[in-house]
Structure 1
Amino acid sequence: MIKRNLLVMGLAVLLSACGFQLRGTGTTELAIKEIDLSARNAYGETVTQLRQVLDSSGVKVYTGAPYKLVLTDEQETQRILSYAGAGRTGEYQMNTVLNYSILSHGNLTLMADKLEVGKVFIHDGNNLVGSDQEAADARREMRRELVQRMMLRLQQITPTQLEQLQQTAEAKAKADAAALEAARKAEADTPRQSPIELPRQ
């Protein structure tokens, strides 16, 4: 019996070291339970996949949720790394940068950051169809990695941190409003100069 328990414990430690976690256990639970998700490309593959992963993680995704995740911009770039014989391109480096922000009540910005992933793929000038397919596969892998990294970022936000971010955002909003009101008051209290009347000739 003791040997069996030790074996089970050993397997559990081994699996957790490999990154495996049983459903409903571990630290994959998000502090944000309800979220609104939007993107510049509302029907893009990145936002669609992210919505599916959030939903499968037990997060309610709907318009008007207490928190909002905005994918503000997604840009892809690529450059040539090396050349093959006869001047044909050999390797491409493809990068994707995803800028995002998390908003709370009153559209206050709690956090703004970016994620970046990269992938190298081979381009064969003699096999354009195959090269296009490899580029498409690289884009799919990068998109999956972006979604995984976004989920990891969300998982790292604790309830305590969420509360601190909310307090900081509210304090900043109050300070900005007070500064704007002070500027308006100063402008209103400043006497306006009358136009100079020139003597008639």
Structure 2
Amino acid sequence: MIKRNLLVMGLAVLLSACGFQLRGTGTTELTIKELDLSARNAYGETITQLRRTLQNSGVKVYNGAPYKLVLTNEQESQRAATYTGGSRSAEYELTTVLNYTVEGQNDTVLLEDKLQVQKYYVYDGNNINGSGQEAVQVRQEMRRDLVQGMMVRLQQLTPVRLQDLQHKADERAKAEARALQEAQRIQDETPQQSPLEVPAP
């Protein structure tokens, strides 16, 4: 019995050392310790759950943090995937797409991306209430998947990665400013042609 317990403990230590984690038990600790968070729907379920998950992971969420996560758009769609012949049942595909940006210093956009989650549920015309409840439950599961997916994306944003993104964004902004100045200089140096006077008949 003791040998078996020691073997299980040894395997657990070995697997964790290799980076293996059971689904749902992995850490969501982030290298980002401060984050500003906003969304078009400031009181929606997605941003509320994400804020709670971030705070539970040790992230201080407040306005004016060095980096800002903006949930720019969240779209839900539904389409019939399959029909069962001769009955009122159908399988529906639910899709949620979440667009987001990560902003750095001077509100420069460091990263633009999106998350997409898809799930299926069966609509039974003979049990409309039950089917409706199942659809709501599936949507809730999808929202949890979106939040977990966002946490995984944020885990990849190490300080080195963020600094690199900030540097590239700054260089992009400088290049755009130089191009704008050059266009203005060319316009200023181009002689303005006087309007032609059309002689009266």
- Same-fold status (TM-score > 0.5): yes
How far residue 161 of structure 1 moved from its aligned partner, in angstroms, is 1.0
| Cα distance in 2 between the residues matched to 1:108 and 1:74 | 22
| Aligned 1:93-112 pairs, distance under 5 A | 93-112=93-112
SS at match of 1:86: coil
Residue in 2 that maps onto 1:180: 180
3-state SS, counterpart of residue 185 of structure 2? helix
Tell me the secondary structure at the aligned position of residue 30 of structure 1: coil
Deviation at 1:158, TM superposition (A): 1.8
* Residue number in structure 2 paired with 1:13: 14
C-alpha root-mean-square deviation of aligned residues, in Å? 2.1
Determine what percentage of the aligned residue pairs are the same residue: 54
Other-structure match for 1:167? 167
Alignment of 1:106-121 (within 5 A): 106-121=106-121
Structure 1 residue 89: Cα displacement: 3.6
Task: Supply the distance in 2 between the matched residues of 1:166 and 1:144 (Cα, whole angstroms).
Answer: 30
Q: Secondary structure at the match of 1:69?
A: strand
Once the two structures are superposed, residues 96-135 of structure 1 have per-residue CA deviations (whole angstroms, 9 ceiling, x without a partner) of: 0000000001011110000000000010101110000000
Code of the residue aligned with 2:22 in structure 1: it is G
Answer with 40-49 or 181-190: which moved more: 181-190
For residues 18 and 51 of structure 1, the distance between their equivalents in structure 2, rounded to whole angstroms, comes to 24
Question: 2:55: which partner in 1?
Answer: 55
TM-score, normalising length: structure 2:
0.89
Residues 34-93 of structure 1: per-residue CA shift (max 9 Å, x gap): 111011110000000000000011111001111000000000111111113435242100
| 1:153 partnered with 2:153 | yes
Paired with 1:7 and 1:84, the residues of 2 have a C-alpha distance of 47
Amino acid at match of 1:108: T
Q: 2:187 is matched by which residue type in structure 1?
A: E
**TM-superposed deviation, 1:31:** 2.3
Equivalent-residue separation in structure 1 for 2:10 and 2:112 (angstroms): 41
How far off its partner does 1:14 sit?
4.6
- Return 5+ residue gaps in structure 1 as ranges: none
Pick which of 42-51 and 88-97 moved more. 88-97
SS across alignment from 2:32 = coil
Alpha-carbon distance between aligned partners in 1 of 2:168 and 2:192, rounded to the nearest angstrom: 38
Distance in 1 between the 2:198 and 2:47 partners? Answer: 66
Deviation at 1:18, TM superposition (A): 4.0
Task: Return the letter of the residue paired with 2:78.
Answer: Q
Q: Which residue of 1 aligns with 2:194?
A: 194
Alignment-derived partner of residue 73 in structure 2: 73
Q: Is the 8 A contact 1:80 1:89 kept in 2?
A: no
The CA deviation at 1:179 is 0.8
> Secondary structure, in 3 states, of the residue corresponding to 2:93?
strand
Give the total of aligned pairs: 196
Name the structure 2 match of 1:123.
123
Deviation at 1:183, TM superposition (A): 1.1
In 2, the alpha carbon distance for the partners of 1:53 and 1:178 equals 42
Shift of 1:157: 1.5
How far apart in 1 are the matches of 2:27 and 2:137?
30
